[in-house]
Amino acid sequence: MAKRIFADTNPIGKLIFYNRDFPLEVTAVVEDRSDLHLEFDIIINFTQLEDIWYGGDETFMSRVNGSQNYMGYFILNTGDVNSLADKINKRLVTLGFYDENNPPGFLFRPFGDIYFNNSMYMNIFKA
């Protein structure tokens, strides 16, 4: 993407515009790789959706369709990550986002197991 837009110019610090209205500053460039588990053209900060899709409405997260399907990456201290995932899943049921007939599927996977594994793309949510 960077080559296509900026040719041989260094893109860091340059602006690109989403939908001609929303400036996005280039802060990094990722080399093209076929072995990553993510397929993307650009990556933006999730909170920028507040402006791009919802006109600055701070309650946008309650209206983002499919928000439970976004992958997130966390740095965790060593410990029982399965226990943590169980606690999160139970809390989501307690909060009323899910119920016993429609349970959440929150899980953790070691980053090294998925990052350079393009076969994970379609299996990312399977335990």
120 — phi, psi (to 5°)? -75, -15
What letter would DSSP give residue 57?
-
Nearest residue to 105 via CA among 118, 121, 92: 92
Q: One-letter amino acid identity for 78? A: T
pLDDT digits (tens, 9 = 90+) for 17-75: 888 888 888 998 888 777 777 777 778 777 777 777 766 666 666 655 555 556 677 77
* pLDDT of 15 higher than 80: yes
Q: How do the domains of the chain map onto residue ranges?
A: 1-68, 71-127
50 — phi, psi (to 5°)? -55, -45
Tell me the pTM.
0.53
Structure tokens at 122: 């379609």
Q: Residue 22: helix, strand or coil by DSSP?
A: strand
Q: Where are the beta strands (DSSP E) in 11-120?
A: 15-18, 22-25
Confidence of residue 127 (pLDDT cuts 50, 70, 90): very low
* pLDDT of 11 higher than 90: yes
Structure tokens at 116: 């350079």
* pLDDT of 125 higher than 50: no
The reported pLDDT for the residue numbered 21 is: 82
Whole-number Å distance between alpha carbons of 124 and 107: 10
pLDDT digits (tens, 9 = 90+) for 61-106: 665 555 555 667 777 876 778 888 888 888 888 888 888 888 888 7
